[in-house]
Every structure is written in C-alpha cells, then in structure tokens.
Structure 1
Amino acid sequence: MSLLSVIIPHLNQAAELEACLSSLDAQHLDHALYEIIVIDNGSTVPPSAIVARHPGARLLYESRPGPGPARNAGIQDAKGEVLAFIDADCRAHADWLRSALQALPSPPNGTILGGDVRIWHDDGSRVTAIEAYEVVFAYRFKLYIEQHGFSGTGNLVVRRSDFAKIGPFADINVAEDVDWGQRACRAGFKFRYVPEMIVFHPPRRTLHELCVKWDRQIQHALNKAREKPGWQIRWIARALAVLASPTLDFMKVFSSNRIHGATARIKAILVLVAIRTHRARKMLSLMGESQTIVWNRDTSV
C-alpha cells in the first residue's frame, strides 16, 4: 500500500492545529502508512511544542506568505506517493485516510479525489445563526467537484506523480485551490467526489469573521476578473446577481437535510441575506481599488 503524506499549512491557529493533529493520530489506519507535515507560515508563536506532542508529525517553515507556498514546501519534503491536504483548523474523520486509500485504486489514472467537508458542532450546544447558515452554504465540495471542476484544498487527495504534472499551487494573490483545479482540468485530469472522505470544519463565530472570509475571496475573484477587457460591466452584473440571489436560495435552506427545525432555518435565512448584501456592497466598493491579500493574520478567520 502507498505511503501517504498529509500536508497541513499553519498560521496562528495553535488550538485548532492541536485538534487537527489529534484527529490524525486517531486515524483507523496503520501509522506506518502515513506521515504528517505541518508547514508554519510565519506564526507569532511557532507551533513546535504542539507538533512535538504528536509522533510521526514534523514541522517545516515557509517564509513566503500564503497557504499555496506553504503546501508547496511540504510537498517538496514529503516522502509519500500520495498527497493528502487538510487545513490546520479542520478535524479529520477517523476513516478519512483509509477511505482515501481505498478510493484511489478504483478510478483511472489522472483522477483527483475530494471529499465531504461538514461543519463541526459540539454536542449539546445550541445551533448559532452562523452555524445554521454554514451548514447549508459553506464547503459544498460535491458542488465544487461535480459542477465547477475543482476541490478545495481542505480535503484533497492526489497521487504525487499527478501533482508533478499539474504543477505547484499559486501564491496568495489568487484562490489557489480554484487555480490549481482549473490547471488540472486543462491538463486532462478529472476530480471525483468521495463522500466517505469526511473532514470537519469549525463554524465562524461571528458575522464579522464570515465577512472577512468573503472579503478575501472577493479580492481573489476581482484580481482574476481584471485580466479580461470590459470586466467592469460583468463585475457590476455579478454584484447585482449576488444581491438578488437570496430569493433563489431560500428553498435550499428549507429543503436541506443538514439543518433541522424552523428556528435554525430562519436563522440561516437571516445570515444568508446579510452575507449576500455585504458581498454585493463589497464587490462594488472594490472596483477602483487594488489590495494585497493577507492570509489569516487575524487568528479568528
């Protein structure tokens, strides 16, 4: 069976990294079959003590900002024939790696795997409005893979030989998972959704955190849009479509089997309207600006 290298970029998320590494320690897979590589990207306090508590994990450093360069550094040091990517603030289901290795032999060569990302909810606590929204609308990897041709790097598995043919992740100025997925598709690779590959992501705690996440994604999209002539008209139309989109997505809230109860659904709708309004306003406000992307310098996002 192939040796698997788990690649984790990290920046100022010490508690989350501890939970992530603990979930990897608990995998239903022989530890001899996988290694764990954490790449710190300039944390205020390097996570050396955290990594040292987890046998089989090692720590690298990458000075160039962004999760893409950090992942690239991890890949260069990796020994595995298979690369598995997870984010430092995620927790892996105990069968995550075993499911990935079981799924790899069945697709033809040139297939890249992406899995299910679910919102982590502590048992017994009330569902917040942000949780209710994110359960329905965040991390829709099945949609990304089957309709948009890419998988988020928070739950991605690829053969090392295939990664080498596609090339490294881009820097912080673009959405590196989308960019890499597009390059993979142009090179003839296919993405496959594997629902058994489950990773959990904590919900954002406040509306501000959710807005900051979208602000970063909007800047990525704007950088890409400016590459084509006449982008302003398309960008304004896109912003107006975002503003009107909640009317089309109400039914997604009411029909989703990931959320339960009328109160939780109403909370999700309120956040949906607030976020789409913020996104549209932000898109229009940025048209005359050029901003630098900053990755997780605020430890809350």
Structure 2
Amino acid sequence: MEMDRPLFSVIIPHLNQSGELEACLASLDAQRLDRTCFEIIVVDNGSASPPHEVIARHSGVRLLSESQPGPGPARNTGAREASGEFLAFIDADCRAHPDWLLSAERAFRTSPDRTILGGDVRIWREDKAYTAIEAYEGVFAYRFKLYIEQHGFSGTGNLVVRRSDFDKVGPFAGIHVAEDMDWGRRALSTGLQFRYVPEMIVFHPARRSLQELCVKWDRQIQHYLNMAQEKPGWKLRWTARALAVLASPMIDFTKVIASDRIEGIAARSKAILVLVAIRAHRARKMLSLLRESKTVVWNREAGV
C-alpha cells in the first residue's frame, strides 16, 4: 500500500438526516484506528439542505453529491471517488463502535482473499426502559449474522470490502431492488464469500413508531415483489408466503423469549405485541400488492 493512500474509505449516503449524520461523524471521529488510516466521504442524495455545516464541524470529511435517487447510486459515487484499499459502508443514521474499523482491519488480516466483511448491527438506545419498537427491533431488526450465514449477503449499513473486489462485482443497483441482496448475490456469483464479524459493531436507532416500522416494511416488501415477479408462477408463491408471514408469530415468539438482545419480561411482552402487529401488516400489504402497482423511492413512496 502506498504511504499516502488511506487503508479505508468510509462512505456514507445522506438524505435529509443532518442530525443523524452529526452523530455518525462524531462516532467516526472517536475511532481507535489512527485517523490517518481512513478517509470519510459523505454523498448527499438530494437533500433539501445539503449538510455543509455538519461537514464543516468534522475535519477531513469530503462532501459529494449524487442526483440519481437511492442509497445505492450514492454509495457508487463515493466508491468512484474513494482512494482507500478497503471500502467501508455505513449509513448516515448509524453510529460506529469505536473499534469498528480496527475490528475490520484485524478481520481482514485473518481472512482469506476474496472475503467481504459484514458486522453486527444493534439498536441504539438513549434510555434504560425499552419502548415497544426498541424491544421488537432489538430482536428482529438488522439480523446480519442470519443474512450473511444463511442468505448470502450483508446489509450495506455495515459492509467492508476490498476495493478490487468491489470493482469485480460492480456497482450497487438503484431503488427498484433491495440493493444489498442484489449486490450480495452478484458477489457470490464471482466467487467472493461473506464473513460475519461480531466485533465489527454499528448502532442504529429504532423506529420511533409502529407507523414508521410499517413504512419501512412497505418499502422492503415492494423490493421483494420486484424480485418475485421475475419468476413464473410468482402469484401463487407470493400468496403462500403472505399467509406464512401471518402465521409466523406463533413460532417466532420463542425467539423473543430466548433472545439475549433484550432484557426483562416487560420488554419481551412489548416485543411480542409488536411482532403480531407488524406481521399482520406485512401479510395484509403483501396480499394488497397483488392488485396494486407502486414504485419505491428512497425514504418515501410514490404511487404510479
């Protein structure tokens, strides 16, 4: 590696989240890896007010812009301008553990070539008492170990890859698909492999309400539908999957009881109530989409 080339390029897509971006950049300022070893690139994706003031409060941060909507295109712009040997992707509303990049550096030293790293994502909590959404998402949101080890992809909110390997896979897709799943499948097809690194921790705030959680799932369900429609006979499989989602709390409540990611009877009771409510919403949404058509926009939806 050239001496003037950083080891990591941290790439952050941003859209109308200046407060969250401030916390994200502060967490990167607190990294235990020497600051000369990484650069930070924020890519604004059409914010009403670009985060110039936030960027100015943190030294050595570059602000770029990408007009094509979606976090995937924003990440691609950051990757094109990056100079690091490794690309480290994190979202603007996340906070990195102080050892995030140091853990990634150590993991690469013990991993074979052609390995992509994904880490743990935990719910960030300000207060001691769990809200119902925090309890639910503490168990069921951001299950990166499951994604990596069983489904063959890592979420892009905590993903680190060699620049050379990223170039082999190609850029992230746009908003019409779940870009992390799509990119992960393409990575596997090139012979790359994912490794889950539990010490590589990123924190994400829970949604503030059941409505926000429903909106998140509406967007994700549309992504799944876009992929399902590519195969013949998809409607029958889609209907069966919706009914399975509706019945799933009868099994998944045991995951709440056994989880070590939340504590206390009250928190587990809250998580089970949200589990039932959100699975009912998901099933209802899936069935309604059999007769509707929508397009997905990053952080919002627009009917067509």
Contact in 2 for aligned 1:12/1:297 (Cα 8 Å): no
| Superposed displacement of residue 125, structure 1 | 3.7
1:7 maps to which residue?
A: 11
Q: Deviations over 1:171-194 (max 9, x none)?
A: 010000000001111111110000
The question of 1:55 aligning with 2:59 is answered yes
Is 1:255–2:258 an aligned residue pair? yes
| Matched residue SS, 2:109 | coil
Aligned to 2:191: 188
Partner of 1:18: 22
Structure 2 residue 93 is the aligned partner of structure 1 residue 86: no
Cα RMSD (Å) of the superposition?
1.0
Structure 1: distance between partners of 2:37 and 2:184: 27
- Paired with 2:13 and 2:165, the residues of 1 have a C-alpha distance of 21
- Is structure 2 residue 204 aligned with structure 1 residue 201? yes
One-letter code of the match for 2:224?
A: A
1:213 to 208, 213, 216: 216
Q: Does 1:168 align with 2:171?
A: yes
Of all paired residues, the percent bearing the same amino acid is 73
Kindly state the Cα deviation for residue 12 of structure 1 after the two structures are TM-superposed. Answer: 0.6
Query: Matched residue of 2:106: which SS?
Result: helix
Q: 1:245 aligns to what? A: 248
For the residue of structure 2 that corresponds to 1:104, the secondary structure is: helix
After TM superposition, the runs of 4+ consecutive aligned structure 1 residues lying more than 6 A away are: none
Given the alignment of the two structures, is residue 278 of structure 1 paired with residue 267 of structure 2, yes or no?
no
Q: Which string of whole-angstrom CA distances, capped at 9 and with x for unpartnered residues, describes residues 192-232 of structure 1?
A: 00011000000001000000000000000001111111110
Match of 1:151 in 2: 154
Aligned mate of 1:227, from 214, 230, 234: 230
Q: 2: distance between equivalents of 1:56 and 1:29?
A: 15
Query: Which AA in structure 2 matches 1:189?
Result: L
Cα distance in structure 2, aligned partners of 1:60 and 1:279? 36
Question: 1:235-266: CA deviations, max 9, x gaps?
Answer: 00000000000011011000001111111101
Which has the larger displacement, 31-40 or 98-107? 98-107
Q: Which residue of 2 aligns with 1:46?
A: 50
Distance 2:285 2:300 in 1: 20
Letter of the 1:39 counterpart: V
- Provide the TM-score with structure 2 as the length reference: 0.96
Q: TM-score, normalized by length of structure 1?
A: 0.97
**1:34 aligned to which of 35, 38, 42:** 38
Q: How far, CA to CA, are the matches of 1:31 and 1:17 in structure 2?
A: 18
**CA deviations over 1:81-112 (Å, ceiling 9, x no partner):** 10000000000000000110111121111100
**Secondary structure of the corresponding residue to residue 283 of structure 2:** helix
Distance 2:61 2:28 in 1: 10
Q: CA–CA distance in 2 between the matches of 1:130 and 1:48?
A: 32
The one-character-per-residue Cα deviations of 1:51-70 (angstroms, maximum 9, x if unpaired) are: 11111111000000000000
Distance (whole Å) between structure 2 residues aligned to residue 225 and residue 288 of structure 1:
15
Q: Secondary structure at the match of 1:208?
A: helix
2:231 counterpart SS class: coil
In the other structure, the counterpart of 2:78 is 74
- Structure 2, unpaired ranges of 5+: none
Distance 2:290 2:12 in 1: 34
Q: Deviations over 1:245-300 (max 9, x none)?
A: 001101100000111111110100000000000000000001122211111149xx
- Asked whether 1:101 is paired with 2:128, we answer no
For residues 115-145 of structure 1, give each alpha carbon's deviation from its aligned partner in whole angstroms, at most 9, with x where no partner exists. Answer: 00000011x4421000000000000000100
